[in-house]
Amino acid sequence: MNLQHLKYAVEVERFQSISRAAEALYLNQPYLSRAIRELESELGIEIFHRTSRGVIPTKQGAEFLDHAREILAHVEEVEDLYKVKRKEVYRFEIAVPIACYISQAFVEFVRELTGRPLMKVDYHETNAMAAIDRVVEHSSNLGIIRYQDHFQDYFLRYLDSKDLICTPIWQFEYHLIMSLSNPLAQRETVTAEDLEPLIEISHGDPAVPTLPVSVLMEMRRREQSRREIVVYERQSQFELLCDIPETYMWASPTPRKVLEGFPLIQKRCRLPDNRYTDALIYRKGYRLTREDRLFIEKVRAAVAEFQGAED
């Protein structure tokens, strides 16, 4: 039995309303309703009568709630008895794609945390499907995923099936990044055909949930027909681009100061379906912390800065 569900039931009884209890617990009403139904199913009883005026305990429900309050009181006594008094630990866990604007936001975010005595930060760069898994499994409270807009419906359905909230952060076109020594570096325009003899440095993140077999087969055919080096680490990607002129990479817009440090250049290339979205994800019912909100604020500020630089 989930101890948290006992707390939920006691709060619902206290407010005699699921909506008011949800507000007090900082939860979504549908999430709290589902939690109560799951508890009732597990116990095999109906805890509350639902009426137009709110909810009231059934006879069995009232007996159960008496026991629930006793259990919670004992748990609180044990916690008070053995809990070591310590300073608050600030925690922040997120899984993100490799992106310069996100890493810039992360640096600004950490800069504001450095004065805190105790903090634990887990910043995990990974692909979209792995980020989703980490959030679902509670390894990360937040995630930022990247998907091609062409496949948006597949991702949104999958996220909904996992009870995840999805909020778009930035929509953009992929840019080409290459060395100044690349054969295409001086071209005014670059086409997909121009890239065919070159080697692509990729992130190795082609996975899309619940795709039809025919689409999967076509994606695999395209992957097998190109020269590719898969590297999921930005420093190594940039070093390969610098040292091997025949390489190129697709990436979200990258600031000039980052490119000039290697040096690399960024070019536009007209391609079909070249629109991508980075989106924030978190579990339904999860209450964003002050740290979560601060990071989101820094990410949105970085997006605004990047967009201003492009204009």
Domain boundaries, the chain: 3-82, 90-171+276-310, 175-267
CA distance 75 to 6: 12
User: What is the CATH code for 175-267?
Assistant: 3.40.190.10
pTM, rounded to two decimals? 0.66
4 has a pLDDT exceeding 80? yes
pLDDT at 216: 47
219-268 confidence digits (pLDDT tens): 455 555 568 898 888 889 999 999 999 999 998 888 888 888 888 999 98
159-207 confidence digits (pLDDT tens): 999 999 999 999 999 999 999 999 999 988 888 889 999 999 987 666 6
Domain covering 90-171+276-310 assigned CATH 3.40.190.10 in the classification? yes
Residue 65, exposed/middle/buried by CB under 10 A (0-12, 13-18, 19+)?
buried
pLDDT at 268: 86
pLDDT at 255: 83
Residues 6+ apart with CB under 8 A from 282: 135, 141, 142, 143, 164, 165, 288, 292
Taking a C-beta distance cutoff of 8 angstroms, is the pair 203, 69 a contact? no
Q: Which residue has the tokens 């980020």?
A: 131
pLDDT at 310: 62
Partners of 249 in the β-ladder: 177
pLDDT at 220: 56
CA distance 51 to 100: 53
Decide which of 3.40.50.300, 3.30.530.20, 1.10.10.10, 3.40.309.10 is the CATH code for 3-82.
1.10.10.10
Give the confidence band of 52 by pLDDT, cuts at 50, 70, 90. confident
CA distance 7 to 72: 7
CA distance 46 to 58: 7
Mean pLDDT for all residues in the chain: 85
Residue 155, exposed/middle/buried by CB under 10 A (0-12, 13-18, 19+)?
buried
91-145 confidence digits (pLDDT tens): 899 999 989 899 999 999 999 887 766 778 999 998 899 999 999 998 899 999 9
Question: Identical fold at 90-171+276-310 and 175-267?
Answer: yes
pLDDT at 212: 53
In the chain, what percentage of residues exceed pLDDT 90? 40
